[in-house]
Structure 1
Amino acid sequence: MALSSPGAGTTDAGSPVSPRPGRGLLPLLLVGNTAMYALYIGVGGVLLALQVEAVDPADKVTNLGLVAGVSAIFATVFNPVAGALSDRSGRRNPWILGGGLLAVPAMFLLGSVHTILLITIAWCVGQAVMNVYQAAITSVVPDRVPMTARGKASAAVGLGLPFGSTLGALIGAAFSDDYRTGYLIFGALVAAAAVLFTTCTREQRIPARESLPIRTQLAAFAGALKSHDFRWAFIGRALLVLGYFAVNGFLLYIIKDHTVLPAGLRAEEAVAILMPVSSVAMVVSTVLGGYLSDRFDRRKLFVGASAALSAAALVIPAVSTSWTAMLAFATVNGLAFGCYMAVDTALVTMVLPKAENAARDMGVLNIANAGPQIVAPFIASVVVSVGGYTSLFLVAAALAVLGALAVRPIRTVR
């Protein structure tokens, strides 16, 4: 693999090489991603589960699976489409700002509905808005950061997950009895981050490309997966994310129905404890993973090892229902997932089929993030119905092992 130097001219494809990132870009990427993950975790992992349970306690697992699965379809559709639109407009910041500002009315709508059908529709709107934001901010790294700094930039992006998870869980727990206000706070948080990012970062306009027919766009998306290394990176990410969301999408219910909590500890409070524990582990492994993968120029090793460690973490609560086992799971899984997301993001940017289609191809890859979220809730609800939460942990562990093996065929990255 040949690393591009800052300002080195063009890639083999003739596209401009990403310049040296401007001062403040990496902290702003951290802020932007922290706000995004805070909403995803706080809304999707806490408030939405409480809202669904309040509507129909008896069928909460099935209903949450339905809401999460259907809304994830919108995430899958809007992410690559928004990425392609920002490619053709030659801008990222307007899409970041637009998606961020629209999070406020989307969250207001979600907090105003009272049936499973309307909750599903409202969360679909929320997913659509957030994935416009996510597609654009994800593309900032391949746009503005040189290959030699991708590990550090990816670490800044990856740190958004532990920081955002902690913030989301704390806000979600604080407003567990008033989820309408909680929704508005999350929307305002994303809007503020979008305003800050777009105000403080200057972007160089990318040459705009003409609009393509829908059939051509779909063919282009499929064409990205014809690239051998990109395809295997896609498969590995999809498998790990599928296992991750099969468990974490139902974390509140797992704690309520599977875990033996200490006396006096509420499930919402337990989530607010587990997230910081996991986050500290994520921070350590994200920073170390990003730095060491740059230092040794080894991405596959770190990605495969962290996916295997995630599988080991998932076995812990499968064999024990104790609170201690859940704390151990949060710690080990945090170490694994933090390293995985930091290094795998760097790996993916190195196997993009065409530099000039970076946002579109990152959007295709983000189907590996959003797509499994369509399947995960349905799989999880079926597995829990048949074999309980223990079986769910074991299925997720098997998926993580397959994700670890999927990076082996990648040829152009070590």
Structure 2
Amino acid sequence: MTSPSESPLSPADPALVAASAPMTETTFLASASGTDDPPPPIKGLRRLMWWIIPANLGIFMLWGAIPGILLPQQITVLFGEADKVANLAIASTIGAFAAMVAQPIAGQISDRTRTRFGRRAPWMIIGALAGSLALVGLAFANSFLGVVIAWTLVQISFNFAQGPLSAVMPDRVPVARRGTFAALTGIGLMVGALGGSILGALFYNSVTVGYIVFAVFALVMLILFVLFNPDYSSRDIQPEPFKLGDFLRTFWVNPIAHPDFFWAFTGRLLLYTGYFAVTGYQLFLLTDYFGVEAPETVIPLLGLLSLVGILISTVVSGPLSDRIGRRKPFVFASAAVVSLAFLLPWFWQDLTAWFIMTFIAGFGFGMFQAVDTALISQVLPSAKSFAKDLGVVNIAATLPQTLAPAVAGAIVLTVGYQGLFPVAIVLGILGALAVWPIRSVK
């Protein structure tokens, strides 16, 4: 019988102790999902938040410079004008397929990695080092087969770094701060992508030097991120048993078992594909659709315009979504803004329309990027497989950026350049509508 001075659950009760104990890496992995707060970062959340910007900058400068500028220019110089669209479509499709497969595999491996440096750090370094070497190979490739092989290795390697890096948010950031963290991630991502296009234009006539510069920069940024943001050791965590069936199902998002996860994936895939089908094809649009004779002089200004729009919306949208506790309205608004922007060059074939579109579309896409990353982190099924699940979701982000030239090439070869804009508008609207059925996030 309990005395009056005792409660049924005394402070020494094991159940109460367990409930009040701080979350550790081991207990977090054992039972948590995307809606649970992880253990605090070793060096503090503030440091992690600021370092995520240059880490993403290093990787996404590659995706901004290479698929849209350096690779098309390299293919044009090496193999001529006549087949440039078809050749770029082939190289992009093969590389995109490699990226699609690489991230979930990298995530699966990093989820199971057990080292004193944690689960993610070793693969960030290995992926960045291998990718930088592959970029040097791409710089000196002089045959179409060599270009395709080197670009494919670049995709595989840097996706082995990017997959574990994307798992940092659910691994280390509390749910209430993820909108802000997603905004900072988005700044690194979009400044990287647009900065890459601007710098890529500067290397328009020196593609080999450009590849080497981007390789060194990406490697240095990821090494510094790992050094300044150490992770918990994972040596004492029991790894999950490997099952071939579970691994193969990595590439399938089950809409019945995890409907929110499925809809988040679908929404991102559709909206990203629409956006990058247009913006990722910028070089050929400028030269062949708008008749710009020196695109390398125009691209830096376009990049700055887009960057201003993205920074404004990203800085506002992420923290604001944290404050009001809602993500979906920002996704809907972003799709409307981007679709409105793409109407301009569709009906007004003038370079002025492209300048205006660049700013407006950047504003809308920045809004989406800031909030969608936080939304995604909240629909992840289990802490045991954050990197694997994010690898699947990141297919929806990486694939459109690398596949966009192939998609755009097929559209251009079929119906001409004007066909890009209505397709992008429809995909963006469908991407926003796909977010509507998600129940775990408002």
Name the TM-score class by shorter chain.
over 0.9
In the other structure, the counterpart of 1:413 is 441
Deviation of 1:14 after TM superposition, in Å, equals: 2.0
SS of structure 1 residue aligned to 2:204: coil
* C-alpha distance in 2 between matches for 1:49 and 1:244: 19
The superposition leaves residues 44-99 of structure 1 with CA deviations (integer Å, 9 ceiling, x where unpaired) of 11111100111221111111111111101110011010011100004111111111
Which of 131, 135, 143 is the matching residue for 1:115? 143
* C-alpha distance in 1 between matches for 2:332 and 2:301: 28
Unaligned runs of 5+ residues in structure 1 are none
* C-alpha distance in 2 between matches for 1:280 and 1:351: 30
In the other structure, the counterpart of 1:38 is 61
In the other structure, the counterpart of 2:84 is 60
Deviation of 1:209 after TM superposition, in Å, equals: 1.6
The superposition leaves residues 122-179 of structure 1 with CA deviations (integer Å, 9 ceiling, x where unpaired) of 1000000110011011001110001011011111110012321332123212211111
Verify: 1:401 aligned to 2:421, yes or no.
Answer: no
Aligned 8 A contact 1:162 1:276 in 2: no
* C-alpha distance in 1 between matches for 2:68 and 2:414: 23
Q: TM-score, normalised by structure 1?
A: 0.93
| Counterpart mapping for 1:4-403 below 5 A | 14-15=31-32, 17-21=37-41, 22=44, 23-54=46-77, 55-90=79-114, 91-206=119-234, 207-210=237-240, 212-222=242-252, 225=255, 226-261=257-292, 266-372=294-400, 376-403=404-431
Deviation of 1:224 after TM superposition, in Å, equals: 5.4
SS of structure 1 residue aligned to 2:31: coil
* C-alpha distance in 1 between matches for 2:29 and 2:332: 29
Aligned 8 A contact 1:69 1:378 in 2: yes
User: For the structure 1 residues 393 and 169, does the alpha-carbon distance in structure 2 shift closer, same or farther, using more than 3 Å as the test?
Assistant: same
Cα RMSD between the aligned structures? 2.1
User: For the structure 1 residues 45 and 83, does the alpha-carbon distance in structure 2 shift closer, same or farther, using more than 3 Å as the test?
Assistant: same
The superposition leaves residues 16-71 of structure 1 with CA deviations (integer Å, 9 ceiling, x where unpaired) of 73133424111111000011111111111111110011122111111111111110
Letter in 1 for 2:283: L
Aligned 8 A contact 2:67 2:280 in 1: yes
Aligned 8 A contact 1:221 1:361 in 2: no
Unaligned runs of 5+ residues in structure 2 are 1-19
In the other structure, the counterpart of 2:7 is none
Q: Which protein has the larger Cα radius of gyration, Structure 1 or Structure 2?
A: 2
Letter in 1 for 2:92: A
Letter in 2 for 1:14: S
* C-alpha distance in 1 between matches for 2:315 and 2:157: 29
Identity of aligned residues (%): 38
